[in-house]
Structure 1
Amino acid sequence: MGYRDRDFRKNSVQPLQEILKEIMGQPAISKGIYPSRIPGAWKAVVGPSVARVTKNVYFRHGVVYVTLHSSIIRSELMMHRDKIIIQLNNHIGRPLIKDLVLR
């Protein structure tokens, strides 16, 4: 490693946030990162009372599947399904979610 190599590294410093954005923008990496945010996004979007009656949240082929213990809450959430999808996509940072299935 020569003198010029050391100078190049000192001058090419990037903020960590920029590096992470660059890494997460790669399709192979973002394919797994964004869907993994969905269960946490569900809790943040619907709040703690709904999160308590949520049994399972998973994502497959653009659809979020949610299993709930309460049929009353399920009915309420169905009326706000489109709004929930928008909020989930905003929370995870990508428009991955196309549909929401509540069971």
Structure 2
Amino acid sequence: MFKRDVHNVKDLILKNLRAQGLETPLLQKRLMDSWAEVVGEFVANYTESMYIRNQTLYVHLTNPAMRADLSMMRREIVNKLNAHVGTQVIADVRFN
């Protein structure tokens, strides 16, 4: 009898994504999709656009007062977003 090399499907998919260079964009998309869930619908309604560059999430908010409040909570927001995805995708968040 021979020994089979059995792998978890999740591990195989992640290995394949990593080999094709698609893991990071997928994680970034997941992080941005979780924005409304992490910060709440109220804040999400004032979010106009967002993008990630060099491990920094840039968020454009239409309300200046909310921008100031969220700037003081940057570290907490980064931790919650990364925890929601399950790995460190961003290191900072900037509001403009």
Task: Name the TM-score class by shorter chain.
Answer: 0.7 to 0.9
Aligned partner letter, 1:82: R
For the pair shown, the structure with the greater C-alpha radius of gyration is: 1
1:66 and 2:66 matched: no
Work out the number of aligned pairs and report it: 93
State the 1:17 CA deviation. 3.6
Moved over 2 A (4+): 11-27
Query: Which amino acid in the other structure matches residue 86 of structure 1?
Result: N
Residue in structure 2 matched with residue 8 of structure 1 by the alignment: none
Q: Judge conservation of contact 2:14–2:23 (CA < 8 Å) in 1.
A: no
Gaps of 5+ in 2: none
Normalized against structure 1, the TM-score is what? 0.75
Q: Give the equivalent residue in structure 2 for 1:77.
A: 70
Partner of 1:44: 37
Q: Alignment identity in percent?
A: 27
Q: Equivalents in 2 of 1:16, 1:51: separation in Å?
A: 34
* Deviation larger for 89-98 or 23-32: 23-32
Q: How far, CA to CA, are the matches of 2:82 and 2:67 in structure 1?
A: 20
Q: Where is the helix percentage greater, Structure 1 or Structure 2?
A: 1
Match of 1:7 in 2: none
TM superposition score normalised by structure 2: 0.80
Other structure's SS at 2:94 match: strand
Partner of 1:31: 24
Q: Which runs of 5+ in 1 are unaligned?
A: 1-10
CA offsets per residue over residues 5-33 of structure 1, 9 Å max, x none?
Answer: xxxxxx77766444434434547121221
How much is the aligned-residue C-alpha RMSD, in angstroms?
2.1
Match of 1:91 in 2: 84
Cα offset, 1:66, TM superposition: 0.2
User: 2:50 corresponds to which letter in structure 1?
Assistant: V
